[in-house]
Structure 1
Amino acid sequence: MADTAPRTAIRLPGRRAAHVARPSGPRHPLVATAMVLPLAALLVVVFGGWDAVVTQASSVGMMLGR
Protein backbone atom coordinates (compact mmCIF):
# COMPACT_ATOMS: atom_id res chain seq x y z
CA MET A 1 0.00 0.00 0.00
CA ALA A 2 1.28 3.46 -0.83
CA ASP A 3 2.52 5.77 1.88
CA THR A 4 0.15 8.75 1.74
CA ALA A 5 1.52 10.70 4.71
CA PRO A 6 3.31 13.93 3.81
CA ARG A 7 7.06 13.84 4.11
CA THR A 8 8.75 16.09 6.60
CA ALA A 9 11.76 18.18 5.74
CA ILE A 10 14.98 17.07 7.38
CA ARG A 11 17.19 20.06 8.06
CA LEU A 12 20.89 19.67 8.66
CA PRO A 13 23.16 22.56 9.59
CA GLY A 14 24.48 24.18 6.44
CA ARG A 15 22.32 22.12 4.10
CA ARG A 16 19.05 22.67 2.35
CA ALA A 17 15.94 20.73 3.29
CA ALA A 18 15.67 17.26 1.80
CA HIS A 19 12.12 17.98 0.66
CA VAL A 20 11.04 21.52 -0.16
CA ALA A 21 7.34 21.97 -0.77
CA ARG A 22 6.38 24.14 -3.71
CA PRO A 23 3.68 26.68 -3.12
CA SER A 24 0.40 25.26 -4.26
CA GLY A 25 -1.83 27.63 -6.09
CA PRO A 26 -3.67 28.00 -9.33
CA ARG A 27 -1.63 27.58 -12.49
CA HIS A 28 -1.78 29.96 -15.38
CA PRO A 29 -4.30 28.69 -17.94
CA LEU A 30 -1.65 28.48 -20.67
CA VAL A 31 0.58 26.32 -18.45
CA ALA A 32 -2.33 24.02 -17.67
CA THR A 33 -3.18 23.80 -21.38
CA ALA A 34 0.42 22.99 -22.30
CA MET A 35 0.43 20.20 -19.71
CA VAL A 36 -2.83 18.66 -20.97
CA LEU A 37 -2.38 18.86 -24.74
CA PRO A 38 0.14 15.99 -25.16
CA LEU A 39 -2.07 13.60 -23.20
CA ALA A 40 -5.16 14.76 -25.08
CA ALA A 41 -3.44 14.16 -28.42
CA LEU A 42 -2.39 10.67 -27.32
CA LEU A 43 -5.94 9.82 -26.23
CA VAL A 44 -7.34 11.07 -29.54
CA VAL A 45 -5.01 8.77 -31.45
CA VAL A 46 -5.56 5.74 -29.21
CA PHE A 47 -9.32 5.94 -28.68
CA GLY A 48 -10.91 6.67 -31.98
CA GLY A 49 -9.83 9.90 -33.56
CA TRP A 50 -11.52 13.22 -34.07
CA ASP A 51 -15.14 12.00 -34.35
CA ALA A 52 -15.22 10.91 -30.72
CA VAL A 53 -13.58 14.16 -29.60
CA VAL A 54 -16.06 16.30 -31.54
CA THR A 55 -19.01 14.30 -30.22
CA GLN A 56 -17.86 14.59 -26.62
CA ALA A 57 -17.01 18.28 -26.94
CA SER A 58 -20.42 19.09 -28.38
CA SER A 59 -22.13 17.08 -25.64
CA VAL A 60 -20.19 18.93 -22.95
CA GLY A 61 -20.91 22.25 -24.67
CA MET A 62 -24.64 21.56 -24.74
CA MET A 63 -24.58 20.45 -21.10
CA LEU A 64 -22.77 23.61 -19.99
CA GLY A 65 -25.08 25.78 -22.09
CA ARG A 66 -28.12 24.81 -20.03
Structure 2
Amino acid sequence: MEEEIKVNPTPIQRNINDVAMELTQLYYRSQNSNSIEKIQEVYRKFYATAKIVAGIPYSDLKDS
Protein backbone atom coordinates (compact mmCIF):
# COMPACT_ATOMS: atom_id res chain seq x y z
CA MET A 1 0.00 0.00 0.00
CA GLU A 2 1.32 3.45 -0.90
CA GLU A 3 2.25 5.89 1.82
CA GLU A 4 0.93 8.88 -0.13
CA ILE A 5 -2.44 9.24 -1.73
CA LYS A 6 -2.44 11.44 -4.82
CA VAL A 7 -5.64 13.28 -5.62
CA ASN A 8 -6.24 15.31 -8.74
CA PRO A 9 -7.87 18.66 -7.99
CA THR A 10 -11.45 19.04 -9.11
CA PRO A 11 -12.28 22.27 -10.90
CA ILE A 12 -14.62 24.56 -9.02
CA GLN A 13 -18.15 24.10 -10.29
CA ARG A 14 -20.05 27.35 -10.51
CA ASN A 15 -23.77 27.64 -10.95
CA ILE A 16 -25.90 30.49 -12.24
CA ASN A 17 -26.66 31.70 -8.72
CA ASP A 18 -22.91 31.96 -7.94
CA VAL A 19 -22.37 34.02 -11.07
CA ALA A 20 -25.28 36.35 -10.33
CA MET A 21 -24.15 36.84 -6.72
CA GLU A 22 -20.58 37.68 -7.72
CA LEU A 23 -21.70 40.08 -10.44
CA THR A 24 -24.03 41.79 -7.96
CA GLN A 25 -21.20 42.09 -5.43
CA LEU A 26 -18.85 43.52 -8.07
CA TYR A 27 -21.51 45.99 -9.17
CA TYR A 28 -22.13 47.23 -5.64
CA ARG A 29 -18.44 47.71 -4.89
CA SER A 30 -18.67 50.75 -7.15
CA GLN A 31 -22.23 51.77 -6.21
CA ASN A 32 -23.73 52.98 -2.99
CA SER A 33 -27.22 51.72 -2.32
CA ASN A 34 -28.96 50.76 0.86
CA SER A 35 -32.16 49.86 -0.94
CA ILE A 36 -32.84 46.14 -0.74
CA GLU A 37 -35.30 46.48 -3.61
CA LYS A 38 -32.60 47.94 -5.85
CA ILE A 39 -30.14 45.18 -4.89
CA GLN A 40 -32.81 42.55 -5.60
CA GLU A 41 -33.55 44.10 -8.99
CA VAL A 42 -29.86 44.16 -9.95
CA TYR A 43 -29.44 40.54 -8.80
CA ARG A 44 -32.46 39.44 -10.87
CA LYS A 45 -31.03 41.13 -13.97
CA PHE A 46 -27.63 39.48 -13.52
CA TYR A 47 -29.31 36.12 -12.85
CA ALA A 48 -31.40 36.40 -16.01
CA THR A 49 -28.33 37.37 -18.02
CA ALA A 50 -26.32 34.43 -16.66
CA LYS A 51 -29.24 32.06 -17.36
CA ILE A 52 -29.48 33.22 -20.98
CA VAL A 53 -25.73 33.06 -21.56
CA ALA A 54 -25.55 29.58 -20.02
CA GLY A 55 -27.72 28.31 -22.86
CA ILE A 56 -25.48 29.73 -25.60
CA PRO A 57 -22.53 27.67 -26.86
CA TYR A 58 -19.15 29.24 -26.09
CA SER A 59 -18.25 29.28 -29.79
CA ASP A 60 -21.21 31.60 -30.41
CA LEU A 61 -20.05 33.99 -27.67
CA LYS A 62 -16.60 34.59 -29.17
CA ASP A 63 -15.88 37.76 -31.14
CA SER A 64 -17.52 37.56 -34.52
TM over 0.5: no
Using structure 2 for the length normalisation, give the TM-score: 0.29
Larger radius of gyration: 1
Using structure 1 for the length normalisation, give the TM-score: 0.28
